[in-house]
């Protein structure tokens, strides 16, 4: 009987150690999840900033293309003759 009680105590201590280890693992995993969520938020914000930048750059490209077309049209119409410099 004493041996059975002693074995039960050993089993209880082993169970407690495993439970404690699992709780530590759970806390580590929760921390990793929090860290990954923070990184995700940061990356999403960076993606949004890049999208805004891309949109602004596309506006600049469109504006430049429009300016070029207007210049070409004026040149065709003769409103903007080329300037020749004589030496």
Residue-level pLDDT, tens digit, the chain, 87 residues: 678 999 999 999 999 999 999 999 999 999 999 999 999 999 999 999 999 999 999 999 999 999 999 999 988 888 655 555 565
Do 80 and 74 meet the contact criterion of CB atoms below 8 Å apart? yes
Q: What is the pLDDT of residue 17?
A: 98
**pLDDT score for 75:** 87
């Amino acid at each position: 009987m004493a041996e059975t009680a002693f074995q039960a105590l050993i089993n209880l201590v082993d169970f407690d150690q495993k439970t404690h280890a699992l709780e530590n693992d759970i806390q580590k995993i929760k921390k990793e999840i929090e860290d990954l969520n923070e990184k995700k938020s940061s990356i999403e914000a960076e993606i949004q900033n890049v999208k805004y930048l891309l949109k602004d750059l596309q506006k600049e490209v469109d504006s430049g293309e429009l300016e070029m077309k207007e210049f070409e049209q004026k040149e065709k119409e003769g409103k903007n003759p080329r300037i020749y410099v004589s030496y």
